[in-house]
Structure 1
Amino acid sequence: MAASAVPPPPPGSEHTDEPGAERLRRVLGAATVVRGTALSGGLYNSARLLELSDGRRLVLKTAPRASTPALTHERDLLGTEALFHRLAAGTGARVPAVLHHEPAGAGTPAEWLLLSYLDGATWDAARDRIPPADRAALRRELGASLARIAGVTGAAFGYPQPAAGLSAPDWPTAFTAMLHAVLADASRFDVPLPAPTGFLAGLPERFRRRLAAVRRPALVHFDAWEGNVVVGRTGSGPWRLGGLIDGERAFFGDPLAELVGLDPFGSAEDDADLLAGYRSVSPALSLDTGARVRLALYRVYLALVMRVESVPRAYEGGFAAWLDTWSAARVGEQLAVLDALEG
């Protein structure tokens, strides 16, 4: 997970594992790479922009080696990204086309994924150039696109990669597994938690009735903040949505969870334009007490993920200190929300 207010990862946290030239040549055919440029912004997988001899521009994403320390759900993430983009494309959403995905295995030390490149700039990079009227239209367009994506139904709830073992036939069980996994990761990496482990682990059972209201495993990007939204314009025309990228954190679950990933530090449900766009496709979206309970639970989960991942990613200095302080405050804030809603 990344967000616009998060500083870049410290030097030395990057990795450079990439598929061998011969394997890449087999995928590209007659085309050759004339230039490769590292892309910034990712905090787990690496990405390079490949400019080809036939004029195409592609994105090559490479995962860390399997031996690299990672959270439980951070396995086979590029397989999740490939699945997300394929499913989202079927809804008409603008996403990169999946050209090739290769899991780690014999002769392949790290999973890799080859995608088409979406022209434009990320929303966070272009933010200061987007006038308010265009921003409102973009938020409505983004909301409608995410609502269409949420219309995709998975075979089970939770993370789709089998290696993580974090899926289940119902949402309370899947979310319990997801939350318990990050708590176990905190123990494994010796990360202090902002509340007692047992108390946090008991949240899904405490609010099981609210979680059980989710009956359909909807496709959720869960990382659709402005750094993963591509925008663009033609000449001096209006800014338009260019597409969604980086679907590696996707899961099947409560479509409301998308609001948490859209704004990790705030509350996207307060964005009237976003909700108007979402409800233009899915008018039944509700923000009743049960929905707000679930939103608070998902915010606790995301804050814990961001807190715990700082250790295996070796964040240091001011960034690590900021993340520690922010995540503790965020968890405390959302626990207070839960108490106020259903004390």
Structure 2
Amino acid sequence: MATVDLSALDPAADPLPVLRELLAPLGEAVEAERLTGGMFATTFRVTLADGERVIVKTAPTSTDRLLTYEADLIRTEALVYGLAADRPDLLMPRVLHTDFTRQIVASDVVVASHLPGTPLMSAGFGPSGEDPRTDRADRELGALMARLHTVIGDRFGYPNTATGLQGDTWVEAFGRIVEQLLADAAQWGTVVPDAEVRAALARHADALAQVDRPALLHTDLWPGNLFVDVETGELVGVIDTERAFWGDPLLELSGADQTGRGPVPTALLAGYAEAASAFDLDEPTTAARLLLYRMFYSLLLVVEIAPRGYVGDWLPQHRATAEANLRWALDELAALDAPANA
């Protein structure tokens, strides 16, 4: 069988022939359903002949529309799931199979166990403070973050060293990550306030320098990547670790609310404090770092629009929100005294 590009497969085409070949080490694939909702990977839920369901995930085959940090992201997902293999408290799938040969499918593939539960984004929970299921999910997410952050790496930055987005210090690594986003923006003709972003990093370098342990960060713990029990709000699963990197645990708070400005849910902070040292968000350098991370996510959301080729009625509002949040974060950072002068 010729190599197949699953990301470009016609929706009406039958993916089973290639999935059968890919999954032969695990069993016979008898049914496949393409999962929608993701903006990056192509994902199938596959049922094997013995009734087991597995998740097959593959990256885009074409790499000319990827941001720099997105190179070989599926390998990062497999790496993180592997790190969690002996940590059931991290609630992640098990890696069942990987194929990085690109001989059956034209890009990297990870096959993982199917998790129970319902995505939090579609669970129908009410607002925090009103629905106890929401408060439980937030509290357990905070505790999950704290457990994840006990996994410590050797260096800061993205696991894929080919990107060059690493450093021996958090100041160095985070600076490279942001600088590469600015370079990606320039490559795609996206106008961003790059001078202001660089100035904010320089002014608050001392705040970033307080981070001395490269903790494992999921970086994308939004409700679409969390599975819950719809009756109780219990957090039962976490997926999509392809954007993970080693860095400041505080960044995880922004990653869980990438289009927001705060405040961080009280229950989430309480859950984190039950399992680790509490975040003091009122402490000046901590507040500065959180604003830097809100700046980072807003910048990322703006920059990725062009290479992803986003279209749709939702796009103008999405762009406006990301740009407004970026402006807000920069203004808030400008209003702070630089930590070195405090």
TM-score range, shorter chain: 0.7 to 0.9
CA contact (8 A) 1:220 1:252 kept: yes
In the other structure, the counterpart of 1:145 is: 144
CA contact (8 A) 2:78 2:95 kept: yes
Say which is worse superposed, 142-151 or 313-322, in terms of deviation: 313-322
CA contact (8 A) 1:84 1:247 kept: yes
In the other structure, the counterpart of 2:3 is: none
Deviation for aligned residue 1:141: 1.1
Confirm or deny that 1:37 pairs with 2:33. yes
Deviation for aligned residue 1:20: 4.1
Q: What is the DSSP-based 3-state SS (H/G/I as helix, E as strand, rest coil) of the residue aligned with 1:323? A: helix
Structure 1 gaps of 5+ residues are 1-13
What is the rounded CA distance, in whole Å, between the counterparts of 2:93 and 2:77 in structure 1?
A: 10
In the other structure, the counterpart of 2:247 is: 253
Q: TM-score, normalised by structure 1?
A: 0.88
What's the RMSD between the two structures over aligned residues?
A: 2.2
In the other structure, the counterpart of 1:3 is: none
1:331 to 318, 326, 333: 326
Residue-by-residue CA offset, 1:15-36 (whole Å, 9 max, x unaligned): 44989446514432xx211110
Please show how residues 154-193 of structure 1 align to structure 2 within 5 Å.
154-193=153-192
CA contact (8 A) 2:259 2:298 kept: no
Residue-by-residue CA offset, 1:82-138 (whole Å, 9 max, x unaligned): 122222344421111111223355665211110001112100101347971122112
CA contact (8 A) 1:120 1:231 kept: yes
Structure 2 gaps of 5+ residues are 1-6
2:106 to 94, 109, 114: 109
Q: 1:90 to 1:146 in 2, by over 3 A?
A: farther
What is the rounded CA distance, in whole Å, between the counterparts of 2:23 and 2:104 in structure 1?
A: 15
Q: What is the DSSP-based 3-state SS (H/G/I as helix, E as strand, rest coil) of the residue aligned with 1:242? A: strand
What is the rounded CA distance, in whole Å, between the counterparts of 1:259 and 1:310 in structure 2?
A: 23
CA contact (8 A) 2:30 2:46 kept: yes
Give the aligned residue type for 2:249. Answer: P
Deviation for aligned residue 1:205: 2.1
* Count of equivalent residues: 323
Deviation for aligned residue 1:139: 1.2
Confirm or deny that 1:318 pairs with 2:313. yes
Higher RCO (CA 8 Å, separation ≥ 6 residues): 1
1:75 to 71, 80, 90: 71
Give the aligned residue type for 1:64. Answer: P
Residue-by-residue CA offset, 1:295-315 (whole Å, 9 max, x unaligned): 111111111111111111111
1:100 to 74, 97, 102: 97
Confirm or deny that 1:221 pairs with 2:213. no
1:84 to 63, 69, 80: 80
Give the percent of matched residue pairs that are identical in Structure 1 and Structure 2.
Answer: 35
Q: TM-score, normalised by structure 2?
A: 0.88
2:47 to 51, 63, 83: 51
Deviation for aligned residue 1:171: 0.2
CA contact (8 A) 1:218 1:252 kept: yes
What is the rounded CA distance, in whole Å, between the counterparts of 2:8 and 2:146 in structure 1?
A: 35
In the other structure, the counterpart of 1:342 is: 337
What is the rounded CA distance, in whole Å, between the counterparts of 1:232 and 1:101 in structure 2?
A: 29
